[in-house]
Structure 1
Amino acid sequence: MKIAPPGGRANSWEDVADLSTAFGLTLDPWQELVLQCAMAERADGRWTASRVGLSVPRQNGKSQLIVSRALAGSLLFGEKTVIVSAHQQDTARETFMKFMELIEANPALEARLSGGSIRTGIMNAFNREQIKFANGSVVKFKARSAPGGRGFSCDALFLDEAQILSARAWASINSTMSARPNPQVWLLGTPPTPEDDGDVFARARDSAMDGSSTRSAYLEWSADPADDPALEETRAKANPAWNSRINHDVVQGEYETYSPEQFARERLGIWDEDVLDVFAGAWPRCKGEPPTVPPVRLAVACDPDQSQGAILASAVDEDGIVHVRPLRYERGTGWLVEAAAELARELGTPVVVDGGGPAASLVPDLNAAGVPLRTLKTSEFLDACAEFHQLVMTQRLRHADYAELNDAVRVAVKRPVQDRWAWGRRKSAGDISLLEAATLATWDALHPLKTKTPTVHRWPATAGR
């Protein structure tokens, strides 16, 4: 994704790249593209982009980009105070050390320091790192803190780890820069985790994408949620330095040990608002032929208003792959008890119900009809949701491309339950009772209760109706 404000009459990006190259810091093409979007100037000499946002997975070269732009600010653009900030001082110091490596490798650059040497131009004390040039420009490296905006008055500000930037710190920082004639603020980071204070970064992204900010540049490298995370082409799409800086073996290790959501966020650059799109994107890859393997397990579910009901069956094959198959999906729930009773007798298996869901109101009628029930507790249903999600993401589940079930997957959202989650029936953009039934039936197939009634080793005649 690339967004740049209109109205630029000139662009200084080549000057930045040339200066970096002169001192041995050759930029990648993707870094030059960021500069092209960020360094355009209006007719009055001010930046067209007063704010620059960048979302890209780790280890692709954000720090080198910061060093390049900060160096140009000091030596080319007359920016007297440049600040590089991160959530933690350790991260800010990492960028400082990259700057130091560049200086130490270039006597001509060291000569541009205050006093002409590292000894006089560099302060290396932890929490006080700074680089001062002979022209009076200074680059400071600072950690952010809740009340810490007062020290951020500067001409160019680079906010690394922008996914951890509180609204309070952001407001304070902005107020200190408002008096500067031509300030530019960069927000550089990765998609925020649920634990991060990521609202500021998200709002900066949204305002650039929806056009409400006319002075924002924003660039993002990410995979499409529908892309297969196991493929190298997917990983390369999200990591612009895939063929230069990224260790492919390390990424494979991340894929094998991270949760699907974590890998999507951290390595594929996909924002959490699209994480369920990752799930929906994985769903088509689970398409398979209708199962013939027993045993069959049953589950029932309905929407919160009981205007739609579903019965779905599942089976596990000899390779441990779960197969799911809708049996009935109709309006209302008046038909559901009789149909569930008939199927339970035919297949000799209990019917699974979420004890905390809308279908729990049918339990008395199901009992009266003699239907053997398995009613899941809330904790079990949460486990079932997580397990179903994991099976889809790892392609350990198969479905035969049923349109109504596909629709349920497409519109489903999660709802938080303390520090866990379940399918959000009311917040989803459509009925998800088939998805809920699939979740329940899958859980029963993988964690069956012992029953004295023999299971019929075939699918019912109504399968797929």
Structure 2
Amino acid sequence: MMTSEPRLSEIASHLIQPSGIVSSDFGKVNRIATACGISFDTWQKGVLYLLLSKKENGRYACGEGGLVLSSCRQIGKTFTLGTTAFILCIMHERLTVVWTAHHSRTSDETFNDLAALERHPQLGKYIERVRRANGQQEIRFTNGSRIMFGARERGFGRGLHSVDIEVFDEAQILTQSALDNMVAIVNTSPNPLVVFLGNPPKPGDQCEAFEDKRATALAGTDGMAYIELSADPKADLDDRAQWARANPSYPRRTSEAAILRMRNLLTDDSFRREALGIWDERDVAHAIDRALWQTTAVNEPDTHGLIGYAIDMPPDRSSLCIGGAIKHPDGSTHIEVRAFEDVKAKGTRWAVDWIAERWPKTAAVVIDAQSPAMSLLPDLKAAHVRPIITNAADMGRACGRILDQLRDGTLTHLPDDDQPALALAVKDAITRPIGSSGAVGWNKTGSDTDISPLVACTLAAYGLTVTKRNPDRKQKVMI
């Protein structure tokens, strides 16, 4: 067991630092903390040094990708980042910090901990007032700075602007959609910071954003800091040295009795995640078998049947894809990408015109409710197009149907050379769990992966199974 305070580099199972660091504001923060009787452990100092490290131009080194900290529970993440945010608000006038958790009880606890500093003999004088109304919890400082608290499950954060520091607590329960909705609130800050604090996700957690941040960091992406504190993946669950490696606050701040309680009450898998910070081994196999995909390619598809389309965009809105599908009378389906354009070069209005032109002979147009392509909905409706809006459960059914049809030989598509965007999406797509019933959706392997062509084609095929519209049906005329 470690007898002295370990350095961050000695205990982190993964420690990825942004390039170009020339200085850090941590020294200033630490001096104020020390003067006020607040002491950081050595590993905590390492985390804060990275968080507040700066490039030669004065901007934060991890300002582009943020700082991500994955660890076990009860390690002191909230204390470390919460007190630092408090001190930064003292140091800078009109600094705005947003602290958001998935559950309201978690954000409430953090708020209560930091609001208690109102009684601190040195720090309390910097607080102008504490607002305790539910949903509007806030610590306001005498210099105009403030820290706002709220729960994502209650919609907190949407509509905010001019935020300088954003902390995503419980980041293991953070959907990409929630991140998309909230990360833009720091866009107008001259030097923003975004922090993700979380534990290894358990099965069923909506963790795609946290998993994506981890995968992006481990792939070597610059501009972000990634810190993972955990025991060895194959650790003996009763090895106290592994407990100390995963939780550097053990045994000084986190007692042996506390960890033993978790050991006795949790399953082995849960103990690995909750007490040792070990991520579950993920099956990173491709979602679609390449050999099976190749065998279902056709050069001359059957074009007779109901026609459907779907529109999708990746989270960064860099491209826009229209997927197409044809449902044949025997139930088989053909899918293909009908249009795929760079949004920066061509915009998005073209897609509305494209769909509107074909609507009279179209059985279904689909957009997923969580897709950035939802921004086209008002224009589509103005063009008298009535899209089907799908949810997460629909996505699970849609992806499952594609996999079933591939195995059954009732799905066709064009050869990869004719559909490079779809081929690349199929090559890079993996699966993610949807809910706890075993349903899956498509997921990307990294931040630079665009699976929107596969999503669009999948939804286009699904739309034809639920639509009641048939443009080929002959209407009876009543006189």
For Structure 1 versus Structure 2, the TM-score category normalised by the shorter chain is: 0.5 to 0.7
Q: Is the contact made by 1:163 and 1:192 (CA closer than 8 Å) also made in structure 2?
A: yes
Aligned partner of 1:60 in structure 2 is: 75
Give the 5 Å matches for 1:31-180: 31-50=44-63, 51-78=66-93, 80-106=95-121, 108-114=122-128, 121-145=129-153, 148-153=156-161, 154-180=163-189
Choose the corresponding residue for 1:242, options 227, 246, 250: 250
Q: Is the contact made by 2:93 and 2:144 (CA closer than 8 Å) also made in structure 1?
A: no
Choose the corresponding residue for 1:10, options 23, 29, 33: 23
Choose the corresponding residue for 1:227, options 228, 235, 243: 235
Letter in 1 for 2:138: Q
CA deviation after TM superposition for structure 1 residue 131, in Å: 0.8
Task: Kindly indicate whether residue 265 of structure 2 is the aligned counterpart of residue 271 of structure 1.
Answer: no
Aligned partner of 1:207 in structure 2 is: 216
Letter in 2 for 1:112: Y
**Structure of larger gyration radius:** 1
CA deviation after TM superposition for structure 1 residue 147, in Å: 5.1
* CA pair 124-24 structure 1, distance change in 2 beyond 3 A: farther
CA deviation after TM superposition for structure 1 residue 196, in Å: 0.9
Aligned partner of 1:285 in structure 2 is: none
CA deviation after TM superposition for structure 1 residue 48, in Å: 0.5
Aligned partner of 1:28 in structure 2 is: 41
**For residues 21 and 97 of structure 1, what CA distance do their matches in structure 2 show?**
22
Q: Is the contact made by 1:159 and 1:187 (CA closer than 8 Å) also made in structure 2?
A: yes
Q: For 1:105-164, what per-residue CA distance to the aligned partner results, in whole angstroms no more than 9, with x for missing partners?
A: 22x3222122xxxxxx11122222111111110111111147544244310011110101
Instruction: Report the secondary structure of 1:128's partner residue.
Output: coil
Q: Is the contact made by 2:231 and 2:245 (CA closer than 8 Å) also made in structure 1?
A: yes
Choose the corresponding residue for 1:194, options 183, 198, 203: 203
Q: For 1:382-410, what per-residue CA distance to the aligned partner results, in whole angstroms no more than 9, with x for missing partners?
A: xxxxxxxxxxxxxxxxxxxxxxxxxxxxx
Instruction: Report the secondary structure of 2:123's partner residue.
Output: helix
Aligned partner of 2:333 in structure 1 is: none
Q: For 1:164-188, what per-residue CA distance to the aligned partner results, in whole angstroms no more than 9, with x for missing partners?
A: 1111110011222222221100000
Letter in 1 for 2:51: A
Q: Is the contact made by 1:148 and 1:169 (CA closer than 8 Å) also made in structure 2?
A: no
**For residues 44 and 112 of structure 1, what CA distance do their matches in structure 2 show?**
30
Aligned partner of 1:387 in structure 2 is: none
Q: Is the contact made by 1:145 and 1:169 (CA closer than 8 Å) also made in structure 2?
A: no
Gaps of 5+ in 1: 115-120, 277-414, 422-465
Give the 5 Å matches for 1:300-339: none
Q: Is the contact made by 1:149 and 1:170 (CA closer than 8 Å) also made in structure 2?
A: no
Give the 5 Å matches for 1:269-418: 269-273=277-281
Q: Is the contact made by 1:73 and 1:79 (CA closer than 8 Å) also made in structure 2?
A: no
Letter in 2 for 1:138: R
Instruction: Report the secondary structure of 1:16's partner residue.
Output: helix
Instruction: Report the secondary structure of 2:126's partner residue.
Output: coil
Letter in 2 for 1:191: P
Q: For 1:194-233, what per-residue CA distance to the aligned partner results, in whole angstroms no more than 9, with x for missing partners?
A: 1211110111111112112x11111111011122111111
Give me the identity figure in percent. Answer: 32
Q: Is the contact made by 1:56 and 1:269 (CA closer than 8 Å) also made in structure 2?
A: yes
Q: Is the contact made by 1:146 and 1:168 (CA closer than 8 Å) also made in structure 2?
A: no
CA deviation after TM superposition for structure 1 residue 24, in Å: 2.4
Letter in 2 for 1:239: N
Q: For 1:433-459, what per-residue CA distance to the aligned partner results, in whole angstroms no more than 9, with x for missing partners?
A: xxxxxxxxxxxxxxxxxxxxxxxxxxx
Aligned partner of 1:412 in structure 2 is: none
Instruction: Report the secondary structure of 1:83's partner residue.
Output: strand
Letter in 1 for 2:224: S
Q: Is the contact made by 1:4 and 1:38 (CA closer than 8 Å) also made in structure 2?
A: no
**For residues 156 and 6 of structure 1, what CA distance do their matches in structure 2 show?**
21
Gaps of 5+ in 2: 1-13, 285-431, 439-479
CA deviation after TM superposition for structure 1 residue 257, in Å: 2.5
Aligned partner of 2:267 in structure 1 is: 259
Q: For 1:344-393, what per-residue CA distance to the aligned partner results, in whole angstroms no more than 9, with x for missing partners?
A: xxxxxxxxxxxxxxxxxxxxxxxxxxxxxxxxxxxxxxxxxxxxxxxxxx
Q: For 1:229-275, what per-residue CA distance to the aligned partner results, in whole angstroms no more than 9, with x for missing partners?
A: 11111111100111222121121122122111111111110111269
Instruction: Report the secondary structure of 2:99's partner residue.
Output: strand
**For residues 19 and 56 of structure 1, what CA distance do their matches in structure 2 show?**
27
**For residues 58 and 184 of structure 2, what CA distance do their matches in structure 1 show?**
22
Q: For 1:44-63, what per-residue CA distance to the aligned partner results, in whole angstroms no more than 9, with x for missing partners?
A: 21100120100111111111
**For residues 267 and 275 of structure 1, what CA distance do their matches in structure 2 show?**
23
TM (norm. structure 1) is 0.56
Q: Is the contact made by 1:170 and 1:200 (CA closer than 8 Å) also made in structure 2?
A: yes
**For residues 233 and 142 of structure 1, what CA distance do their matches in structure 2 show?**
37
Instruction: Report the secondary structure of 2:111's partner residue.
Output: helix
* CA pair 72-62 structure 1, distance change in 2 beyond 3 A: same
Q: Is the contact made by 1:146 and 1:169 (CA closer than 8 Å) also made in structure 2?
A: no
Q: Is the contact made by 2:170 and 2:198 (CA closer than 8 Å) also made in structure 1?
A: yes
Q: Is the contact made by 2:117 and 2:124 (CA closer than 8 Å) also made in structure 1?
A: no
Letter in 1 for 2:69: L
